[in-house]
Amino acid sequence: MTAPAARRIVLTGATGQIASLMARYLAPRHRVILTSRTARPGARRPGLTHVTCDYGVYESLVDAFRGADALFVVTNDPTRPEHDRNVVRAAVEASVGHIVKLSAAAVLDSAAHDLITEWQRGNEERIRASGIPWTMIRPRSFMSHALGWAPGIRSGGTTYALHPHSRNACVAPEDIAEVSARLLGDTGHHFRSYQLTGPQPLSAHEQSAVLSQVLGRPLVCRELTPEEAHARYARRYSPAMADALIASAGRQLAGAKAHTTDTVERLTGRPATTFARWAADHRERFA
């Protein structure tokens, strides 16, 4: 594999969970252009620029992507497929050299036919058909979902989950960011797909026990009914997205999300982050 000299690298989703962690790996060596609708406070440092764009405004994407040797694509709304079409069309018009796409592990699961998974399959297909060299990153669930428990932990020492004993080999966002940065900065990964997991599958019940140890206080993990879980999802997402998340939890119950890969270790040279390490690193966000 050849590691080229400085590249012009455009990151979409600059204020989101993964791209916001990537600049630290890329900025010392590459010219990095962060893009999103809003600028992240404190994102200004040498080697970094922020450009405002909107997936719904095609011209803003062409302007932001022009001259990119590599483009990191994060979209997050399956109910707006025109956003994904705009991103790929703009990448072609802007002559982007390489697309690294944040997809999802579920695309490999033949039993997964929910809205989110079908959307990500379509996104991958569109990129493969674009003529631009691509790399797909397919992570399992982000460990940061546990942050959704923070208010319940603070107020009553409670975590909650649908199917709390089903296991998920969830992965640290920091690991996804480091792997993504390596794939963007190197030309040796064209036309490859990488499935990323954490080092071991854990249930919500087991994650709750880890958090209890890290925080030094007892926690109770309460089982949600499907109706309760749906109502919680629907506070944040559309009903169709809530349905997809319930279906996804059902696949987890059937064991579809428990297997692990060694991709993080192969690509970074160090073991994947454990949930205990991740929880300790983010302790103050639960306290």
Ligand X SMILES: NC(=O)c1ccc[n+]([C@@H]2O[C@H](COP(=O)([O-])OP(=O)(O)OC[C@H]3O[C@@H](n4cnc5c(N)ncnc54)[C@H](OP(=O)(O)O)[C@@H]3O)[C@@H](O)[C@H]2O)c1
Interface positions with ligand X (CB under 6 A): 13-17, 36-38, 53-56, 74-76, 83, 102, 104, 116, 120, 139, 141-142, 145
Beta carbon of residue 267, minimum distance to ligand X (angstroms, whole number): 17
The two beta strands, 70-73 and 31-36, are unpaired
Beta carbon of residue 176, minimum distance to ligand X (angstroms, whole number): 8
Query: Which residues is 220 bridged to in the sheet?
Result: 158
Beta carbon of residue 5, minimum distance to ligand X (angstroms, whole number): 28
Between 122 and 157, CB nearer to ligand X: 122
Residue whose entry in the numeric block shows the structure tokens 């989703």 = 13
CA distances from 102 to 13, 15, 185, 234, 258 (A): 10, 15, 15, 24, 20
Beta carbon of residue 129, minimum distance to ligand X (angstroms, whole number): 19
- Yes or no: say if 197 and 260 are a contact pair by the CB < 8 Å rule: yes
Between 87 and 214, CB nearer to ligand X: 87
Between 74 and 172, CB nearer to ligand X: 74
Between 120 and 166, CB nearer to ligand X: 120
Among candidate residues 3, 130, 25, 9, the one with its CA nearest the CA of residue 71: 9
Helical spans, DSSP H, in 101-225: 115-128, 150-156, 173-184, 204-215
Q: CA-to-CA distance for 142 and 131, rounded, in angstroms?
A: 30
Query: Which residues is 194 bridged to in the sheet?
Result: 137
Among candidate residues 260, 144, 130, the one with its CA nearest the CA of residue 190: 130
Half-sphere exposure at residue 169, Cβ-oriented, CA atoms within 13 angstroms: 23
Beta carbon of residue 28, minimum distance to ligand X (angstroms, whole number): 22
Between 64 and 153, CB nearer to ligand X: 64
Beta carbon of residue 47, minimum distance to ligand X (angstroms, whole number): 19
Residue whose entry in the numeric block shows the structure tokens 């989110």 = 116
The two beta strands, 48-52 and 31-36, are parallel
Which residue's Cβ lies closest to ligand X?
Answer: 16
Between 64 and 210, CB nearer to ligand X: 64
Beta carbon of residue 38, minimum distance to ligand X (angstroms, whole number): 4
Beta carbon of residue 278, minimum distance to ligand X (angstroms, whole number): 13
Q: CA-to-CA distance for 239 and 247, rounded, in angstroms?
A: 12
3-state secondary structure of 99: strand
Between 187 and 193, CB nearer to ligand X: 193
In sequence order, the 6+-apart residues with CB closer than 8 A to the CB of 19 are 11, 12, 13, 34, 72, 74, 177
Between 208 and 248, CB nearer to ligand X: 248
